Chains A and B, each alone.
Chain A
């Protein structure tokens, strides 16, 4: 393998890892705090991408206005899921999982009917290609990677230093004790879905600019997210960041050197290994 090829693999992996991380953060946040595996998250990504597409590409609204609107739509859809899917099931992990899969398929089928068969694309914000050593990367990807880093840091700061962030961590670590501190758990759950939905919306817009928009676009990133969240330890933000980068890199290596089919198999093999050695994932803890 030449140095250029290695560099290319590294750059590709870093960018994809950061994108997967962004989607996975929304999943791990909800799991950590509510012990709910949110299967609908991928559909939030997809619906937000369509929202941004229609608002900006079709109706000519400025992207920077379209994005927050899409974040609102996504956050609102998240709240609907929380109120009408997960709360009635009392956040039971298995029931939520099953109903989530059902809802996800329903949303996807409905989207095919609604949006039609042709995939769309959100125009790139930063066109052009960058050369690093002998390797190439589009400016849009560099921009995307930067946004992912900024959002991960913002999420960390939010959880660490703001009042709602602290309430989230308290509920995550001991819901009953949080109740005794006067924290309104239902409100915290709503905040969690809002934050997670907003992250999904940004993820959808970024994915839509790089890879086009169609009703299936959330499926693969969501599957990757589950692998990442498992490897990192369900609910661990740090674990999700590290596992996201790790899976992005490992995918880039296997897909480039061995071919695309193998990436998922290798992902699952890594997951199996890690779960055997550390059943709670790299940074998981007892719940």
Chain B
């Protein structure tokens, strides 16, 4: 099913990179292909499918106006490469994309983004990763690697806020999937929590897509935490984890992220979900853009709306804007333009930053919206501003 699309993509890029058609002023639009290396099947497929839908719709909007560079008008095209959430598949995808001439890559998942980042940078291709990560995915040696969503970095904002908002919390435990994403999140969150003055009591891991969470929950509870951070866990996994914790009698606080509030409530159940903090989560669409996005989604795909979709929305607009500003489609030039771009997006002002940690501005910084489940409903709690000077 993908083969057809891939060869078309390759052809299109070939066209875009030959100067042939640029002579004619009336020439058709030129296409820039963005290869999406995302899980469309397997235990993380929910994220990949949501991303595909967001990216495709975003490019439709961008292409209405197009990206005018000098006399040429460019459009963006998304080509999907299913990585099944398997690192080896991801590497194959990256090799294919690069050999087909694709120089813009959108990648989901740590385990899928880390093993390809050296290759994409060496090939001077710009890689966006919606993935947890640290130095191995971001740094001065990887100037074309951008982390398009704040992931483990949210801990830099959340834990200091937590200390003042919930002074009674003392003992923090982390629950994460046992893979690249989970290990990174667990480590970074532990570091930020300890820096903010909390005691770290446990870092537990579960197998992504596991059926039963009683064992993991039982295990976590033996360390007697009063705050449990689900870190890099996603969707169904963390809802089940939360449900299990509550059924096993846990009364302390719980924080989840990367979650659609409705789905979370449905799976964790009203009793299970009650009181959970929804970190970095937009509860209900607030702005017109957000509302339009939800309306379009429901109309096209039917309910439920997938809030994970918000995260794959802005990066592609920022890419288009960076190209316009730089008046170039060369990834090296576009990367520098992207680094200095301030974008008014779904989550307010968005900018690639975090130079103080990664020695290069390459990780998304923005305010962090927080929600909480109260009376069986997810409600807006507060917005944590991005810490100054990061």
Question: Does B200 lie at the interface of the complex (its beta carbon under 8 Å from any beta carbon of A)?
Answer: no
Question: Does A9 lie at the interface of the complex (its beta carbon under 8 Å from any beta carbon of B)?
Answer: yes
Q: How far is the CA of A119 from the CA of B205 in the complex (A)?
A: 21
Total interface residues on B, using CB and 8 Å?
A: 46
Given A5-B222, A112-B45, A117-B308, also A127-B263 (CB < 8 A): no
User: Contact partner of B218 among A120, A131, A138, A256, CB < 8 A?
Assistant: A256
- Determine, out of B56-64, B89-97, B298-306, the stretch whose residues face the partner at the interface: B298-306
The number of residue pairs between A and B whose CB atoms lie closer than 8 Å in the complex comes to: 128
Q: How far is the CA of A112 from the CA of B47 in the complex (A)?
A: 11
Name the CB-closest residue of B to A264. Answer: B207
A109 adjacent to B216 (CB under 8 Å): no
Given A5-B222, A12-B214, also A212-B267 (CB < 8 A): yes
B49 CB, min distance to chain A CBs, angstroms: 4
- Which residues on the B side are within 8 Å of A120 (C-beta)? 263, 266-267, 304
- Which residues on the B side are within 8 Å of A88 (C-beta)? none
Produce 1/0 per residue, B260-275, CB < 8 A to A. 1011001101010000
In A217-249, the 8 Å CB interface with B consists of: 217, 219-221
**Which of A12, A124, A131, A251 has the most chain B CB atoms closer than 10 A to its own CB?**
A12
Q: How far is the CA of A217 from the CA of B235 in the complex (A)?
A: 13
Name the CB-closest residue of B to A207. Answer: B211
B2 CB, min distance to chain A CBs, angstroms: 11
Chain A contact residues (Cβ within 8 angstroms of B): what range? 35 or more
B271 adjacent to A127 (CB under 8 Å): yes
B211 adjacent to A118 (CB under 8 Å): no
- Which residues on the A side are within 8 Å of B41 (C-beta)? 105, 108-109, 112, 215
User: Contact partner of B205 among A221, A252, A259, A264, CB < 8 A?
Assistant: A259
In B37-87, the 8 Å CB interface with A consists of: 40-43, 45-50, 53
A211 adjacent to B308 (CB under 8 Å): no
Question: Does A185 lie at the interface of the complex (its beta carbon under 8 Å from any beta carbon of B)?
Answer: no
B288 CB, min distance to chain A CBs, angstroms: 24
Produce 1/0 per residue, B296-323, CB < 8 A to A. 0000011011101000000000000000
**Nearest 4 A/B pairs, CB to CB:** A255-B215, A117-B46, A117-B49, A119-B236
Please list 29 pairs of residues, one from A and one from B, whose beta carbons are closer than 8 Å in the complex, sorted by A's number.
A9-B218, A12-B212, A12-B215, A113-B49, A117-B48, A118-B50, A118-B260, A118-B262, A118-B263, A120-B266, A120-B304, A121-B266, A121-B267, A127-B269, A136-B247, A211-B236, A212-B239, A212-B240, A216-B43, A216-B209, A220-B210, A221-B211, A255-B215, A256-B214, A256-B216, A259-B204, A260-B206, A261-B205, A264-B207
